[in-house]
Chains A and B, each alone.
Chain A
Amino acid sequence: MADPMRIRAQAAGDKTTVRVLMSHEMETGQRKDSAGKTIPAWFIQEVTATHNGKPVLSAQWGPAVSKNPFLQFTIKGAKAGDKVAVNWIDNKGDKRTDEATVS
């Protein structure tokens, strides 16, 4: 199981800015190890976010997203105390969900 994500959700007016820092290798499948063998690709493919259990965002990522990916998005209408959950699935089927409260 991968390390937890760091999620910060801050409300400003009727909008909430959510910043997520995930912990993932994001191996591209292009690099070679010291023995000259290609390191197989290992990256987050799908990211979804929910606001109080309702899906608000889904994203598909390729291997070109940086290691330990950062994502920022804005939810309309979220207010302090609401729950924001972010979920990712990588190409090996590993998954992780973390939740934060809007402040």
Chain B
Amino acid sequence: MQTRREVLSRSAALTGLLAGAGLLPQAAQAAWAQAAFEAKTMADAVKALGGGAPAESKDVTLTGPDIAENGAVVPLGCACALPGVKRLLLLVEKNPNALSAAFDVSDAVEANFSTRVKMGQSSNVYAVAMMGDGKVLYAQKEVKVTLGGCGG
């Protein structure tokens, strides 16, 4: 037998859960560049973020292993030596969605980031620098994966 008080407190808890599950993710997704993360190729991802045609450049550096034993954890680093970088992107060509991470560069941080990504199979990885003047530069590197990281 439930008392009225129990019923009321439960319904209040449920409302809180619904608000947490249903409403907050929408707010979080509003700022997230969904179109860019759904893009299949580097050119599409750059276009979705408002950049022009990418050009290869020696001023962008991409660090990563030549052979990654475990595709679930591939350490990648991207850096750009030029001033005026607005955004740095890390992309994996043959992943289901190419874009892995996008870093917004401010004056207070160096355009140099390292993280770890998942790779489904051996593929080219790209570091893309979107400059303040609208230029888009990239560097690429081939990473061979012995064991895929997409659960296959």
The residues of B that contact A55 with a CB separation of less than 8 Å are 106
The residues of B that contact A45 with a CB separation of less than 8 Å are 28-29, 32
The residues of A that contact B117 with a CB separation of less than 8 Å are 64-66
Instruction: Give chain B nearest CB distance to A12 CB in angstroms.
Output: 12
Q: Which of B28, B96, B113 contacts A91 (CB 8 A)?
A: B28
Contacts between the two chains (Cβ within 8 Å), count: 127
Contacts of A52-97 to chain B: CB distance below 8 A: 54-67, 69-77, 89-93
A28 on interface, CB distance cutoff 8 Å:
yes
B57 on interface, CB distance cutoff 8 Å:
no
A interface majority secondary structure? strand
Instruction: Give chain A nearest CB distance to B134 CB in angstroms.
Output: 20
For A18-43 the 0/1 string (1 means CB < 8 A from B) is: 00000000101011100000000000
> Which single residue of chain B is at the shortest CB-CB distance from A78?
B108
A46 and B102 CA atoms in complex are apart in Å by 10
The answer to whether A56 touches B106, judged by C-beta atoms less than 8 angstroms apart, is: yes
A91 and B31 CA atoms in complex are apart in Å by 11
A31 and B118 CA atoms in complex are apart in Å by 13
A6 on interface, CB distance cutoff 8 Å:
no
The answer to whether A74 touches B109, judged by C-beta atoms less than 8 angstroms apart, is: yes
B99 on interface, CB distance cutoff 8 Å:
yes
- Interface hub of A28, A46, A66, A91 (most chain B Cβ within 10 A): A66
For B14-39 the 0/1 string (1 means CB < 8 A from A) is: 00000011011101110111001100
Seen from chain B, the residues whose Cβ lies within 8 Å of a Cβ on chain A are 20-21, 23-25, 27-29, 31-33, 36-37, 72-75, 77, 92, 95-97, 99-110, 112-119, 149-151
Seen from chain A, the residues whose Cβ lies within 8 Å of a Cβ on chain B are 15, 26, 28, 30-32, 45-46, 49, 51, 54-67, 69-77, 89-93
